[in-house]
Structure 1
Amino acid sequence: MATIERLYDESETTKVRFIGFSTDDFRYDFGIIYTNQFFGKPMVVCMQSGCSTLLDGEDIQDYEQLKKIFRLKNDKQAMDLAVFFEQNLPTSRFETQYD
C-alpha cells in the first residue's frame, strides 16, 4: 500500500463570481474563485468547457497560453478574453512563500 503524505488541508470561505458575456463572435461563461491560496491568483473556470487555470495580470498577456488553456480558436478570442480579464481580475501579485 502506498504511503500518502498530506501536504496541506485548508478550509476557507471564498468569494466566487460568475460572469457571462458575449463578444461579436462568441459567448463566454466563467466562474472566478478568489482565494488566499495560490499566492493570490484567482482560479478561473470556463463553465462551458470545464477548463480551469490560475491567472494574474501577467498571465493574461500570454495569448498563446490563453488559447491553449481555454481551447480558443484564434488570437482575436484570446485578445477579447485578455481585455475581459484585465477588467475583472486583481492586478496585484502576492509574493511567493518559497525562496
Structure 2
Amino acid sequence: MFERLYSTSESTKVNFVGFVSENARYDFGIVYTNQFFGKPLVICMQTGRSSLMCAEDAQNLDVLKRKFAISTEDEARELAVFLESQLPHTDHAMTQY
C-alpha cells in the first residue's frame, strides 16, 4: 500500500546535447519542467545518472563529480562551464533530494 504524493502530466521542453572537450565526450538530456522549483532534470545519457540542477548547482564541482561520476577537477570544470550556460539561475537554495 502506498500514498500517492502527486501525479502530474505536462508538456515539457527537452534539449539533447552532445559535445566533446579536450578531456571527454558528454551526452546529456536536459528536461525543462515546471516541477521541482524550476530546476531542470539533467540526465547523462552515457551513464544514466541524473540530477535536478540549476546554474548555481553546476558551480559546485564536488556535486558534479559525485552526481555524474566524474573523476577529475578538469572534467568537472568543463562540465560546469557548459551546464551554467544551459541551466536557469534560481533564487532557491534547495538541497537535492
TM-score, length of structure 1 as denominator length: 0.89
State the 1:36 CA deviation: 0.4
Distance in 1 (CA, whole Å) between partners of 2:21 and 2:93 is 34
Q: Which residue of 1 aligns with 2:89?
A: 91
Matched-pair identity in %: 51
Matched length: 94
Distance in 1 (CA, whole Å) between partners of 2:92 and 2:56 is 12
Distance in 2 (CA, whole Å) between partners of 1:73 and 1:95 is 26
RMSD (CA atoms): 1.5
TM-score, length of structure 2 as denominator length: 0.91
Can you give the 5+ residue segments of structure 1 that lack an aligned partner in the other structure? none
More displaced 10-residue stretch of structure 1: 86-95 or 57-66: 86-95
Structure with higher Rg: it is: 1
Write the deviation string for residues 52-71 of structure 1: whole angstroms up to 9, x where unpaired: 00001221111011001100
Can you give the 5+ residue segments of structure 2 that lack an aligned partner in the other structure? none
State the 1:81 CA deviation: 0.6
State the 1:78 CA deviation: 0.6
State the 1:92 CA deviation: 3.3
Q: Which residue of 2 aligns with 1:54?
A: 52
State the 1:93 CA deviation: 3.8
Q: Matched residue of 1:8: which SS? A: coil
Distance in 1 (CA, whole Å) between partners of 2:71 and 2:50 is 17
